[in-house]
A and B are shown apart, each in its own frame.
Chain A
């Protein structure tokens, strides 16, 4: 939230296109919130409702941030879900081997730390592979990560022989489902931290500026002395790292790890990124916008659940519809801007 405040201040000062977009999304969020409140106040405003929204959104929200990063460099990372599952499976395999269910908690605890490290390391390694293919070999990102997505999922299937990995020590899901003040799930707090960290990295750090510039024009970036391959590589490594956090969250929520969990998340994450104002051609986009897009979509889809006779699948319609509406409104705004620019020239 601090992030969007910052962006609002910027919007007032310089009103760059990205900030205006964040502001628009913020208005949309308020509208959606008010709408839900008006339609089903008794259900929507219940704390349990907020709690369940906060539990659902981090899984895809964190991966959406990873995809957004890749999109800002002008690429895309379609391997996030495969990376998340492979990381979770690596951790699960390890935990099941060293601390099967029934092992006393004090023996499980140190193993949990190792398991988390294994998952994160797996994510880093997956990101490094995608990053190498994109940055060193120059394979178009959409294809390279399409390939690594198959590869990671394939490896996950091979090492699990396609079976879900359950029987995790109970302590893992206890910690994973911990709630601060019995209200804020750990996963949501993680999501906020990730968003904040990536947001600060993009807006305030050298690396962030380099990502935007590389995404705008990679040739000019080369002549300006940027290390293009290095920046791309690091972007995919970060995306892989974020995916592994997502993988751990999924594993804690489902209390198991599975090779084909959350297959639909890839497309949802791309949708979130674009709704959030990330330019698929690279160079522009704000994490604030992506976070707002996650909130808006989560409220909408939770809202649907409040109507008993409405199927959960309407959520697809809303997402697709919202995406096309945003595209059309961008088209309209761009045209209006052109006209206004012409009119200004005349004046």
Chain B
């Protein structure tokens, strides 16, 4: 009974319910939602935003907000791509990932030094570094659309399986990159739940001073968060370029806000301290279905922004309302 009440206070069941309703609606209207190829398409579109959302969630849980991950991903991916191309690299793709992760880590470390070292506000810092990274990519490197090296091209074509829809005559490939997403989810889940470092991320988001007094090394934990999410963004950049089979320097930019919206929809508290990977992934799934599958029920794609906006407004409105009623509950208990 208590645990049922407690789970109703969380947002995951509501987001899952919304996804279920939406998919049933689309299924009933089109008969095409629960088909292999549609589900595979959805999974494909989710890979990149879901990878981003993992990092964004870690930062928000720690009480910050990061808007620089698309810039880090683009720059790390672009440098990696250019270096591998110009050296005619033809070895395994793992080097591309390692390089991009390393570059992302360095850029994340810049965020980390400014945020953990100088205690500057996170959103403003990452806005600034984001601008720096983009400027560096487009100004100094004069980035433009570039092909990817053969190893990334081959990697982009790797598929786990194909789903064929006989009715429409369409087939969709499940990209191998989804394994990277699953790996990242498992890794971050283990870090967040079973390491003191992970509990420290939640502790900082709950109360930084208390965390310091309890014995957490706050600066070190923050440094870890920004380095790790930077590296993860770098990897995401390579995932994206591989899946697109070309290195486009700018088409990730502007994604930060929808990713953050998905994270918050999934129940992550903007003020920090609360958030789960399940919720985050559900949030990404909801927004992805909205922008991908509406076409199945005859709603033209250009409506997707309207629905995304409406879902963010309603979703965050519900969360805000929950927060207010939680305060009331505590107040009521105190008066009682």
- The interface residues of chain A lying within 8 Å CB-to-CB of B324 are 138
Partner of B317 from the list A133, A157, A158, A161 (CB cut-off 8 Å) is A133
* Cα separation A155 to B313 with both chains bound (whole Å): 14
- The interface residues of chain A lying within 8 Å CB-to-CB of B319 are 139
Size of interface on B: residues with Cβ below 8 Å to A? 52
B132-149 residues at the A interface, CB under 8 angstroms: 132-140, 142
Chain A minimum-CB-distance residue to B257: A146
CB-based contact A147/B313 at 8 Å: yes
Partner of B313 from the list A151, A310, A315, A316 (CB cut-off 8 Å) is A151
* Cα separation A14 to B139 with both chains bound (whole Å): 43
User: Does A197 lie at the interface of the complex (its beta carbon under 8 Å from any beta carbon of B)?
Assistant: no
CB-based contact A327/B142 at 8 Å: no
- The interface residues of chain B lying within 8 Å CB-to-CB of A147 are 261, 309-313, 316
Chain B nearest CB from A165 CB (Å) reads 14
- The interface residues of chain A lying within 8 Å CB-to-CB of B308 are 150, 154
Chain A nearest CB from B139 CB (Å) reads 4
Chain B minimum-CB-distance residue to A318: B135
CB-based contact A320/B128 at 8 Å: yes
User: Does A324 lie at the interface of the complex (its beta carbon under 8 Å from any beta carbon of B)?
Assistant: yes
* Cα separation A23 to B305 with both chains bound (whole Å): 43
- The interface residues of chain B lying within 8 Å CB-to-CB of A152 are 309
CB-based contact B135/A271 at 8 Å: no
- The interface residues of chain A lying within 8 Å CB-to-CB of B309 are 147-154
Chain A nearest CB from B84 CB (Å) reads 23
Task: Convert B187-210 into 0s and 1s, putting 1 for each residue whose CB lies closer than 8 angstroms to a CB of A.
Answer: 000000000000000000000000
- The interface residues of chain B lying within 8 Å CB-to-CB of A280 are 121, 123-124
CB-based contact B316/A139 at 8 Å: yes
Partner of A154 from the list B124, B129, B304 (CB cut-off 8 Å) is B304
Chain A minimum-CB-distance residue to B256: A267
CB-based contact B139/A151 at 8 Å: no
Most chain A Cβ neighbours within 10 Å, of B65, B130, B135: B135
CB-based contact B135/A313 at 8 Å: yes
Task: Convert A64-106 into 0s and 1s, putting 1 for each residue whose CB lies closer than 8 angstroms to a CB of B.
Answer: 0000000000000010000000000000000000000000000
Partner of B135 from the list A78, A317, A327 (CB cut-off 8 Å) is A317
- The interface residues of chain B lying within 8 Å CB-to-CB of A146 are 257, 260-261, 312
Partner of A327 from the list B124, B310, B321, B323 (CB cut-off 8 Å) is B124
Task: Convert A121-152 into 0s and 1s, putting 1 for each residue whose CB lies closer than 8 angstroms to a CB of B.
Answer: 00000000000010001111011101111111
- The interface residues of chain A lying within 8 Å CB-to-CB of B24 are none
Chain B nearest CB from A315 CB (Å) reads 7
Chain A nearest CB from B290 CB (Å) reads 10
CB-based contact A270/B127 at 8 Å: yes
CB-based contact A316/B139 at 8 Å: yes
Chain A nearest CB from B123 CB (Å) reads 7
CB-based contact B118/A137 at 8 Å: no
Q: A138-B324, A143-B316, A154-B306 are in contact. Are A78 and B131 (CB under 8 A)?
A: no
- The interface residues of chain B lying within 8 Å CB-to-CB of A151 are 305-306, 309-310, 313
A311-335 residues at the B interface, CB under 8 angstroms: 311-321, 323-324, 327-328, 331
* Cα separation A267 to B305 with both chains bound (whole Å): 19
Main secondary structure of the interface of A (DSSP, over half): helix
Q: A147-B261, A323-B127 are in contact. Are A133 and B313 (CB under 8 A)?
A: yes
Q: A133-B313, A311-B139, A316-B139 are in contact. Are A143 and B129 (CB under 8 A)?
A: no
Task: Convert B299-336 into 0s and 1s, putting 1 for each residue whose CB lies closer than 8 angstroms to a CB of A.
Answer: 01011111111111100110111011000000000000
Q: A137-B321, A151-B306, A162-B302 are in contact. Are A327 and B125 (CB under 8 A)?
A: yes
A interface bracket (residues with beta carbon within 8 Å of B): 35 or more
User: Does B221 lie at the interface of the complex (its beta carbon under 8 Å from any beta carbon of A)?
Assistant: no
Q: A149-B309, A263-B254, A328-B118 are in contact. Are A317 and B131 (CB under 8 A)?
A: yes
Main secondary structure of the interface of B (DSSP, over half): helix
- The interface residues of chain A lying within 8 Å CB-to-CB of B128 are 271, 319-321, 323-324, 327
User: Does A274 lie at the interface of the complex (its beta carbon under 8 Å from any beta carbon of B)?
Assistant: yes
- The interface residues of chain B lying within 8 Å CB-to-CB of A153 are 305, 309
Chain B nearest CB from A116 CB (Å) reads 26
Partner of B305 from the list A150, A311, A328 (CB cut-off 8 Å) is A150
User: Does B16 lie at the interface of the complex (its beta carbon under 8 Å from any beta carbon of A)?
Assistant: no
B209-267 residues at the A interface, CB under 8 angstroms: 254, 257-258, 260-261, 264
CB-based contact B317/A139 at 8 Å: yes
User: Does B154 lie at the interface of the complex (its beta carbon under 8 Å from any beta carbon of A)?
Assistant: no
- The interface residues of chain A lying within 8 Å CB-to-CB of B142 are 311, 313
CB-based contact B131/A327 at 8 Å: no
Chain B nearest CB from A157 CB (Å) reads 4
CB-based contact A157/B130 at 8 Å: no
CB-based contact B310/A274 at 8 Å: no
Chain B minimum-CB-distance residue to A267: B127
CB-based contact A323/B135 at 8 Å: no
User: Does B176 lie at the interface of the complex (its beta carbon under 8 Å from any beta carbon of A)?
Assistant: no
* Cα separation A151 to B258 with both chains bound (whole Å): 12
B263-287 residues at the A interface, CB under 8 angstroms: 264, 270
CB-based contact A327/B114 at 8 Å: yes
* Cα separation A318 to B306 with both chains bound (whole Å): 34
User: Does B28 lie at the interface of the complex (its beta carbon under 8 Å from any beta carbon of A)?
Assistant: no
B87-125 residues at the A interface, CB under 8 angstroms: 114, 118-121, 123-125
CB-based contact B139/A158 at 8 Å: no
CB-based contact A324/B123 at 8 Å: no
Chain A nearest CB from B201 CB (Å) reads 21
Q: List 29 A-B contacts (CB under 8 A).
A: A133-B313, A138-B321, A139-B320, A143-B264, A146-B257, A147-B309, A147-B312, A150-B305, A151-B305, A151-B309, A151-B313, A153-B305, A154-B306, A161-B300, A161-B302, A274-B127, A280-B121, A280-B124, A313-B134, A313-B138, A315-B135, A315-B139, A316-B135, A318-B135, A320-B127, A323-B131, A327-B118, A327-B125, A327-B128
Across the A-B interface, the 7 shortest Cβ-Cβ residue pairs: A316-B135, A151-B309, A154-B305, A320-B131, A150-B309, A317-B135, A154-B306
Q: Enumerate chain A interface residues (CB-CB to B < 8 A).
A: 78, 133, 137-140, 142-144, 146-155, 157-158, 161-162, 263, 267, 270-271, 274, 280-281, 310-321, 323-324, 327-328, 331
Given contacts A151-B306, A327-B120, 10 further A-B pairs with CB under 8 A are A138-B321, A139-B320, A143-B270, A147-B310, A151-B310, A154-B305, A154-B306, A154-B308, A271-B128, A274-B127
